[in-house]
Amino acid sequence: MEHYLDLHLLPDPEFSSAQLMSALFAKLHRALVAQPDVHIGISLPQARAGQRSTDEQPGTQPYLGQHLRLHGQADALAALMAQPWLSGMRDHVHLSAITPAPANAPHRLVRRVQADSNPERLRRRLCKRHTLSEEEARQRIPNRTARYLELPYVQLRSQSTGQHFLLFIDQGANLPEPCQGGFNRYGLSQGGSVPWF
């Protein structure tokens, strides 16, 4: 992860930055699937988690930002950018040059987080696996078990099922040392860290 390049979304009167970032993310995912030996990690320097409101403070919404940073070796980034994966997005994105990452930058794990936020789905699964009635499943899994995330996310569509889903992203805390490991086809950590700057 010695090099990086930045993609900044340009303002667009027709599309929100969240819509454009989701489209950019989907295109990046397809490009990474098409090039399995290219190892690229991502970070979202402007992203921030939301906060639930309290009696004293109003809540804030998670924010994805308008800046996607790709991390990798210079040749891996060049190979990715040699592909036409940005077609249709060039008018919406300002692209930087491939640049060496700061040597003394801290590292972070940028990873996917999933939550069991739908008790009804969990109940259906429990009924199917353990042949329980709906009432028994409702007693075992009450509505209060739902877990909601206050993390930034992109909205994507599954290529296999066609269903829309939210991909929540946690950028973790600064690490004392870089972590060696891989990245999935979304550019998210499977043990590997990226420089944070």
Q: Which residues are catalytic?
A: 29
Cβ within 8 Å of residue 182, ≥6 positions away: 39, 190, 191, 192
Which of 19, 152, 7, 159 has its CA nearest to residue 86? 7
Q: Alpha-carbon distance 97 to 76, whole Å?
A: 14
**Cross-strand bridge partners of residue 70:** 5, 42
Cβ within 8 Å of residue 48, ≥6 positions away: 60, 62, 63, 65, 152
User: Tokens for 116?
Assistant: 């069991």
On whether the CB atoms of residues 93 and 10 are closer than 8 A, the answer is yes
